[in-house]
Amino acid sequence: MTPEELKKLDKEMRKAKRIAGEWAMQLHDLVEDGLPGEYQKLPEIAQSTYEACEAWDKARKQLEAAEQETA
């Protein structure tokens, strides 16, 4: 794998991590400020947070595997 490809994977992983963090913050804010009144939002935000964290984990694992291949 070329250094440019590794850099691209790293960028994708960082973007996925940022998005996961943003969803986690929304979930935190809902728990901190919105519950119990806005409980209807909980399933949607929790699912989106889960999916974003899953995407980050996949990107992280891809990057780690690519780094090990080139080492």
Using one digit for the tens of pLDDT, what is the confidence trace for 34-64? 999 999 999 999 999 999 999 999 999 999 9
Residues 6+ apart with CB under 8 A from 33: none
> Among residues 44, 60, 43, 53, which one has the least CA distance to residue 19?
53
pLDDT at 11: 98
pLDDT at 26: 98
pLDDT bucket at 71, cuts 50 / 70 / 90: confident
pLDDT at 1: 84
Q: Is the pLDDT of residue 23 over 90?
A: yes
Which amino acid is it at 24? A
